[in-house]
Structure 1
């Protein structure tokens, strides 16, 4: 995808920023929930007007962050039929690393809000395709997507705001192994594959 602003071009000197720079500056800011557009423009060394040529408002900024984050974590190729577990594990580890690098990101995704941007739709479609390519019926592939995304994002959100559940540190590898053994979703009473 080309690095083009989301709003029509305006007269004046062209912006000296790219979508990757905007997202990298948002990540470097430390917490997406508290980041203001003014702070982001300052971090980028540009005026508000230059930033607003790329993102018209905070929602567009968050959509841009989603777009770049999904590009960073989504494997280029889908799994080969029955090999969906290693592919899904790679995706989950990519989400772990990228989402936790931006404090507040997993927490924001886990909260009720608009999830209609195309980037998350691409992630959804890829995960559903991984299941359907392995022979999972479409309605159960959709349910498997829900289980996967809510589980992984929820686990990552609790790492940003840890629960006091005991002395040991929660391990993503154990969580992920347990999650993948339980997928794909199946109807109650159906045999495990």
Structure 2
């Protein structure tokens, strides 16, 4: 039996958790856990590996995320703090703290927005560009290694399914079940 057959044939921790729930709560369909518990466990594994890659470049995940957003913005590699806050899904206070820390490290600078007297732009420095480019190369190499077990068709199918699921989850109303029936 080859490694792929062994890996997919053997029950994993999620299978064991689901079996236990089915034993003690047969009245609840725990089928969604077969997917989402694996996504959650995969997310934790990816975070651990990403932290290791970024740490080897003197970065934390959040720092890579901010530097990456600026790098992806293209020349002159700058965005407003508001744009960064929206992209990172953090509070303005958190973003201010992050920008301060990246400025102290010499990876970004603040400058006045020439189109808005009161506005500020956060700009990637040359050191910041080198830092994010180097980390990106190792990050993509890691992700390529992690996906090498999947055939191209499997990757495409998985990417499309996850895109669909993510769009749905992000669009779902966060109210409690039945809340739409309540009258204010």
- Between Structure 1 and Structure 2, whose CA radius of gyration is higher? 2
TM-score, L = length of structure 1: 0.28
TM-score, L = length of structure 2: 0.29
Structure with greater helix percent: 2
